Amino acid sequence: MPQVTLTVNGKQHSVEVEGRTLLVELLREKLRLTGTHVGCDTSQCGACVVHVDGNSLKSCTTLAVAVDGCSVTTIEGLAAADGTLHPMQEAFREYHALQCGFCTPGMVMSAVDLVQKHPEGLSEQEIREGLEGNLCRCTGYHNIVKAIDAAQEVMHGRRASVAAAAE
Amino acid sequence: MDTGVENATPFAGIGASVKRKEDLRFLSGRGHYTDDISRPGQTHCWFVRSPHAHARIASLDTAAAAGMPGVVAIFTGADMTGIGGVPCGWLIHNKDGTPMREPPHPVLAQGKARFVGDAVAMVIAETRQQARDAAEAVTVEYDVLPAVGMDNALTPGAALVHDDVPGNLCYDWHIGDEAAMRAAFSGAKHIVTLELTNNRLIPNAMEPRSAIGDYDPTTGDHTLYTTSQNPHVIRLLMGAFVLNIPEHKLRVVAPDVGGGFGSKIFHYIEEAAVTWAAARIARPIKWTADRTESFMTDAHGRDHVSVAKLALDEHGTFLGLHVATRANMGAYLSTFATSVPTYLYATLLAGVYTTPAIYAEVKAVFTTTVPVDAYRGAGRPEATFLLERLVDVAARDTGIDKLEIRRRNFIKPDQFPYQTPVALEYDSGDYFSTLEMGLKAADWAGFEARRAAARAQGKLRGIGISTYLEACGIAPSAVVGALGARAGLYEVGTIRVHPTGSVTVLTGTHSHGQGHETTLAQLVCDQLGVPFDKVDIVHGDTAKIPFGMGTYGSRSLAVGGSAMVKAMDKIIAKAKRIAAHLMEASVEDVEFANGEFRVAGTDKTKAFAEIALTAYVPHNYPIDEIEPGLEETAFYDPKNFTYPGGCHIAEVEIEPETGHVRMVNFTAVDDVGRVINPMIVEGQVQGGVAQGIGQALLEACVYGSDGQLLSGSLMDYTMPRADDLAPVSVATHTTLCTHNPLGVKGCGEVGAIGSPPAVINAVVDALKEYDVRHVDMPATPAKIWSIIHGSAQRAAAE
């Protein structure tokens, strides 16, 4: 069976996988990083989004062998080592942007990538369009959009905290 | 800003928008969902499912599959002897008093498959992939039979879903006074008729269903980990009716659950299958649905076809209502399926109006589709859509303004308690105030200017309103028992005060997104004065919590919260006796407020934590009179349903070239009774409204005439995405529930109940120049384009 070597949340792993093993299966079953979720089988819901070499990616449609040598960040690796939440995590909490929590890891990872790729800032409509690949059944997205808007202010250094970004 | 005040504890009692206790674990990837669990020695299961809607199983050959790598065991219906079928929890009687038809629902198909996805075998292997590979090697030969749908189920000579259910009719039920209704119609100035469909929906909680069966052969203990909204209900149904396992040998754990919306209330066959098979192979078995299986096998919602007639006098006063509905049950009766189109639907047909004579008749039919059961709102959205569309059509047909016709028929604030002609007695409400608040918040008065501005841009803009009511806080046991419910619907709460004064609450309700760990903790802060971080809520494990009925019907706070209040009353009563002893006072003189016991009129006080410690270290204690310890349990059985209501206003803009309907504004003003956590209530309403908008504009479950599920993936079934929705403005107007101690009504379903007719009323309003009377849901671009385009063609032809 193929061997995959990759860095996950700063830690190197070398894992034997089947050729058909998906990245999400490697993360959840081999590394027991169960924060990354599987919500669908057609690459539509985005619950499985992780960062691979700094880009958001749906781990449910990525073969594990395809990320050999890559650096992966999952939701478990987003907060600082001392436990300080990433501004996006903090904003989701501040703005009640999660309910059941199942879509949340993928939603947060997508949102971080979306904001990072747009240092010029995103309008409300652009945030909504940027979430095209992530489904949430609980919140109606209203508070997710508000949270991302607040987090982008902090991530781009325009505000000190997500609470301060509140109107 | 540094105020110099350290550790100031923010107010976390009733009315505070406290941030959620749950969030940190969910945001850190440390949630604990069923599929995250891995038991030692765990195997994996894959179900072989029927590809046909209706077929006899001619032969079933598992030999090749059994030899595949990693296969541990394969079971079929023939192996499942000595166990029962999955039961239905509510008995409905026909018009003639005879009971409904209740065909068995076997765990694995017995001789016949009745919908696409009906399970015919289970394959257990070392890995999920091995189980899946082997399942493909199971050979099943089918004799295909005709599919049965809503359009042909009741047609004479139709194929029978169940051989012993003639005409595919589960029941033919009615409610109300038919003679009074006919008398009202005979004297009416106007009779308004509307035929409408309530579109079938697929709940699609983001977490697919999952179940792990585990068995300890040394003790005979069975454990089921499952994605459930009500673990005790599953234990009761599966233990007592399906597998014959007594409660003390069956533990059901529903850990973090990723959304339910009703679809995780029901006892599903997969839960029974993995529990049963785990004991056969003496190893744990995990099954997790992929999304395709969720579409095929989660209970669907709605699916009504109705004819509604409203009789009015010359002033637009409602005189009588006659509703005839066909409701789809699917292939088998799911746990609460039979109650949804009856007692959760037809009892709501008075709405917020004083219609004096109402008669409703409902035929429930079997079809070769997945079972249909409660989905967010369950019956009440169907009633509300019917009524609020009918009222708008009545306004149109009589020429009375749509707001005015509502006001003329509203139940007035001084008419409460209000007895409807369809069994319910409303305790409180103020429909005039929620209407006025909604009109102001939505700037109803300024709409025509916005319509004109949109018109100048080539867009058709419309505004729509729904003034609705629902019944939740389910439910008074004696009442529902008399109506056929096979269970009590009380709730339980245990307040466990620890020796140093922190508190663990054990509740029978279950949180799968609602934030109970926060809201219920706020009740404790408020009543016992215990700091928020010293209160934890435990739910979801039958080995930890007392027997409670779980979460559905917006009941957790109204029923479960009330049980907690009762238990805390007992705690305070006992603690006062202990405090009286310590302070050498009479118990009648001891007051309790803000976490402190005080001898009235003195400065003698004892903190709550001191009393707790004394209760557990009873050295100076009236041991002959009071038992040690400070823990109380209370069961609360509600006296009535609760009746949230309000006003929803939708504003839409249609692009005539494409027929695309864009949501531009949505305003919700809801009376949910007392609000414990405004942030959470607002989130619940926003989420409910999103599902309602989804039903109105996007979502439709479609089966082909051959019974194939055509909308079987997220690429075919249009779940609302962020850019399909507009910001939702939410406000509350409180009238207190008069019969529970918190005055709460429930907020989980109002959004999904009130919003669909508001959206469709707005769509019809936007299309008013095209002489459109009704648009069925969902108002897809194709449907709207056809209306506009067809109308243009008609105009050209004339």
| Residue labelled with tokens 């069994």 | B423
The reply to whether A53 and A71 lie within a common domain is yes
| Residue B405 CA, distance from chain mean position | 31
Q: What is the mean pLDDT of residues B45-55?
A: 98
Q: What is the mean pLDDT of residues B690-694?
A: 98
**Strand B535-538 to strand A3-8: parallel, antiparallel, or no bridges (unpaired)?**
unpaired
Distance from CA of B683 to the nearest CA of A (A): 6
Within-domain flag for A31: yes
CA distance B116 to B439: 46
CB-based contact B168:B160 (threshold 8 Å):
yes
Distance from CA of B713 to the nearest CA of A (A): 7
- Test B728 with A142 for CB contact under 8 angstroms: yes
Which chain A positions have a beta carbon within 8 Å of B131's beta carbon? none
CB-based contact B295:B115 (threshold 8 Å):
no
The reply to whether A43 and A11 lie within a common domain is yes
CA distance B785 to B779: 10
The reply to whether A72 and A132 lie within a common domain is no
Q: What is the mean pLDDT of residues B170-177?
A: 98
Q: Give the amino acid at A154.
A: V
Report residue B798 as tokens. 């004339």
Nearest to B724 by CA among B778, B788, B668, B646: B778
Question: What pLDDT was estimated at residue B613?
Answer: 98
Within-domain flag for A161: no
The CATH number of residue A124's host domain is 1.10.150.120
Average pLDDT, chain B: 96
The reply to whether A7 and A72 lie within a common domain is yes
Nearest to A97 by CA among A35, A163, A141: A141
Within-domain flag for A165: no
The reply to whether A48 and A95 lie within a common domain is no
Question: What pLDDT was estimated at residue A25?
Answer: 97
CB-based contact B161:B328 (threshold 8 Å):
no
Buried b (16+ CB within 10 A) or exposed e, B309-340: bbbbeeebbbbbbbbbbbbbbbbbbbbbbbbb
Within-domain flag for A50: yes
Question: What pLDDT was estimated at residue B6?
Answer: 44
B30 has a pLDDT exceeding 70: yes
- Test A143 with B208 for CB contact under 8 angstroms: no
Within-domain flag for A42: yes
The reply to whether A73 and A15 lie within a common domain is yes
Q: Give the amino acid at B118.
A: D
Buried b (16+ CB within 10 A) or exposed e, B606-644: bebbbbbbbbeeeeebeeeeeeeebbbebbbbbebbbbb
**Strand B190-198 to strand B304-312: parallel, antiparallel, or no bridges (unpaired)?**
antiparallel
A166 has a pLDDT exceeding 70: no
Report residue B526 as tokens. 């408020």
| A9 at B interface, C-beta within 8 A | no
The reply to whether A53 and A92 lie within a common domain is no
pLDDT tens digits, one per residue of B558-573:
999 999 999 999 999 9
Within-domain flag for A166: no
Question: What pLDDT was estimated at residue B673?
Answer: 97
Question: What pLDDT was estimated at residue B9?
Answer: 60
Query: Which residue on chain B is closest to A34 by alpha carbon?
Result: B36
Which chain A positions have a beta carbon within 8 Å of B519's beta carbon? none
Task: Give the range of the structural domain holding residue A123, as residue numbers without chain letter.
Answer: 87-155
Q: Which of A35, A59, A77 lies at the terminal end of a domain, its last residue?
A: A77
Query: Which residue on chain A is closest to B510 by alpha carbon?
Result: A100
Q: Which of A77, A101, A134 lies at the terminal end of a domain, its last residue?
A: A77
B641 has a pLDDT exceeding 50: yes
Within-domain flag for A82: no
Instruction: Return the SS3 of B321.
Output: strand
Which chain B positions have a beta carbon within 8 Å of A100's beta carbon? 205-207, 256-259, 512-513
Q: How many CB pairs under 8 A join A and B?
A: 175
* Beta pairing partners, B598: B591, B605
Strand order in B55-61's β-sheet? B112-113, B55-61, B139-144
Query: For an interface test with B, which of A24, A25, A102, A128 has the most B Cβ atoms less than 10 Å from its Cβ?
Result: A102
Q: How confident is the model at residue B795 (pLDDT cuts 50, 70, 90)?
A: low
Torsion sign, CA atoms A7, A10, A13, A19 = negative
B294 has a pLDDT exceeding 80: yes
The reply to whether A98 and A39 lie within a common domain is no
- Test A135 with B719 for CB contact under 8 angstroms: yes
Q: What is the mean pLDDT of residues A59-81?
A: 97
Nearest to A109 by CA among A3, A17, A33, A13: A33
Q: What is the mean pLDDT of residues B34-63?
A: 98
The reply to whether A9 and A48 lie within a common domain is yes
Q: How confident is the model at residue A165 (pLDDT cuts 50, 70, 90)?
A: low
Which chain A positions have a beta carbon within 8 Å of B205's beta carbon? 100, 102, 137
CB-based contact B397:B382 (threshold 8 Å):
no
Within-domain flag for A149: yes
The reply to whether A58 and A92 lie within a common domain is no
C-alpha distances in angstroms, B91 versus B336, B338, B486?
Answer: 9, 7, 7
* Beta pairing partners, A50: A57
Q: What is the mean pLDDT of residues B263-269?
A: 98
Q: Which domains are assigned to chain B?
A: 205-297 (3.30.365.10), 304-474+640-797 (3.30.365.10), 490-636 (3.30.365.10)
Nearest to B711 by CA among B196, B336, B204, B329: B204
Q: How confident is the model at residue B27 (pLDDT cuts 50, 70, 90)?
A: very high
Report residue A16 as tokens. 């034997």
**Strand A49-52 to strand A71-73: parallel, antiparallel, or no bridges (unpaired)?**
antiparallel
**Number of domains within chain A:** 2
pLDDT tens digits, one per residue of A101-127:
999 999 999 999 999 999 999 999 999
Beta carbons within 8 Å of B41's beta carbon, 6+ residues apart: B283, B284
B8 has a pLDDT exceeding 90: no
Q: How confident is the model at residue B466 (pLDDT cuts 50, 70, 90)?
A: very high
CA distance B297 to B285: 19
Q: How confident is the model at residue B229 (pLDDT cuts 50, 70, 90)?
A: very high
Q: Which of A56, A77, A98 lies at the terminal end of a domain, its last residue?
A: A77
Report residue B360 as tokens. 């409703």
CA distance A23 to A54: 16
- Test B36 with A85 for CB contact under 8 angstroms: no
In this complex, the residue of B24, B291, B687 whose CB is nearest that of residue A99 is: B687
- Test A40 with B291 for CB contact under 8 angstroms: yes
Question: What pLDDT was estimated at residue B48?
Answer: 98
The reply to whether A15 and A59 lie within a common domain is yes
Beta carbons within 8 Å of B152's beta carbon, 6+ residues apart: B158
pLDDT tens digits, one per residue of B67-104:
999 999 999 999 998 999 999 999 999 999 999 999 99
Q: What is the mean pLDDT of residues A70-76?
A: 98
The CATH number of residue A7's host domain is 3.10.20.30
Buried b (16+ CB within 10 A) or exposed e, B555-588: bbbbbbbbbbbbbbeebbebbbebbbbbbebeee
- Test A102 with B207 for CB contact under 8 angstroms: yes
Distance from CA of A69 to the nearest CA of B (A): 24
Determine which helix (DSSP H) or strand (DSSP E) holds B669, and give its type and residue range. strand B660-671
Which chain A positions have a beta carbon within 8 Å of B261's beta carbon? 137
Which residues in chain A belong to E strands, given as ranges? Answer: 3-8, 11-16, 49-52, 55-58, 71-73
The reply to whether A25 and A44 lie within a common domain is yes
Query: Which residue on chain A is closest to B664 by alpha carbon?
Result: A125
**pTM to 2 decimals?**
0.97
Q: What is the mean pLDDT of residues B762-789?
A: 96
